[in-house]
Amino acid sequence: MTLSAETKCIHLAERIERTATDCCTTKESNPSPHYGAVSFPIYQTATYTHPEVGQSTGFDYSRLQNPTRAQVEKIVAQLEGGIDAFALSSGMAAITLLMEIFKPGDHLIIDNDLYGGSIRLFDAVSAKNGIRFTRADISTDSIEPLFTDSTRAVYVETPTNPMMHVTDIAKLASICRAHGVILIVDNTFLSPYFQNPLALGADIVIHSGTKFLGGHNDTLAGFLVTKSADIQEQLRYLIKTTGAGLAPFDCWLILRGIKTLALRMERSQENAQKIALWLKKHPLVKRVLYPGLPEHPGYRIMQKQARGFGSMLTFEVKDSETAKRILKSVKLIQFAESLGGVETLITYPITQTHAEVPESLRLKNGITESVLRLSVGIENSDDLIADLAQAFSQE
């Protein structure tokens, strides 16, 4: 049975197929392993018994694997079209694990505009371990001259955090294949509901599951998804070795969050589009960066490679005093780091998500004291706009 994206958020295709087969057998000959539970159980156990030497239930120790973790990994792999997914304790844990597939002397081409935590990891940890990086505006620059004999991967976010640059994934994947390197795409901002980089030629997809996949700002999680059997083998070995796998209860929270992913993404996108149009007309706003606006440089690419524009937007006001006044004055909208939850959050990148990014790089990317980032939630859009209006009007 072919399932839609909405249905894949709730059901595994393999479960549907198994149910069709099971209907022809008796309960006694084929009992349900979960006693018919509709909500997938939380297997809060560290270890598992074995019938005898040489026999296993398939689970040995929860650092290696756990049934609840296996379920959320199957769901995320299904949504992204990968052969396997890996659930980790945070988005940064996922990126840290990924960096372990590289060795000293390896070279990566990375986008200029990345989440501040990723930049910190690359500069403070990965570089110390001998991995070299070259930065570029991958959405606009030709990166052909940047490849060397030691280049092993290209790493992008699309759209980027926070300046909303959009990269043509299929075009970049073609370039990477020509040079024999892998393409890594952080798909956190759009989620697998709106965009599937593996289908466009990427080799690895990253998600901060804390964000849209969880959707409720109540847990941390990270995911890696791949379509490569070789990369799958490396990551499966590394996740059991390093021990950063996601705990059972957190896996269950992500499973619960994903069930409403489609509804949340559609509603928050609808709200974001209305807010972007309102911000465009406000005299204190210098520019609005939202890929759902036709004037955005990435608008046509997004129409080609994604099924939506998402609910993340960045805007620049006239000066830092205006930005700080808005942050102080919002009431319904909450001044907080993070994104992707049902609540609308406003973030000040210069002191929060990108506080530790070198000033020269921040300014080069356009992240100034007058830039604000909005993660639009599922509240009533009129209420959100009214809150912004009153915050803008404060003296």
The SS3 call for residue 288 is strand
Q: How far apart are CA 305 and CA 187, in angstroms?
A: 12
Is 286 in contact with 316 (CB distance < 8 Å)?
A: yes
Catalytic residue flag (residue 193):
no
What CA–CA distances, in Å, run from 56 to 52, 53, 350? 8, 8, 51
Which is the catalytic residue, given 22, 63, 256, 259? 63
Which is the catalytic residue, given 8, 69, 211, 362? 211
Catalytic residue flag (residue 211):
yes
Which is the catalytic residue, given 43, 115, 155, 193? 115
| Residue with token string 């896996």 | 251
Q: How far apart are CA 172 and CA 154, in angstroms?
A: 9
Q: Which two tokens stand for residue 87?
A: 């659930």
Burial 254-283 (b: 16+ CB within 10 A, else e): bbbbbebbbebbbbbbebbbebbebbeeee
Catalytic residue flag (residue 286):
no
Report the amino acid identity of residue 377.
G
Which of 92, 143, 88 lies closest to 116 in space, CA to CA? 92
Burial 137-171 (b: 16+ CB within 10 A, else e): bbbeeebeebbeeebbbbbbbbbbbbbbbbbbbee
Torsion angle, CA of 121/126/128/130, rounded to 10 degrees?
Answer: -160
Which is the catalytic residue, given 106, 168, 186, 203? 186
Phi/psi at 294 (5° precision): -55, -25
Which of 134, 109, 139, 192 lies closest to 300 in space, CA to CA? 139
Residues with a catalytic annotation lie at 63, 115, 186, 211
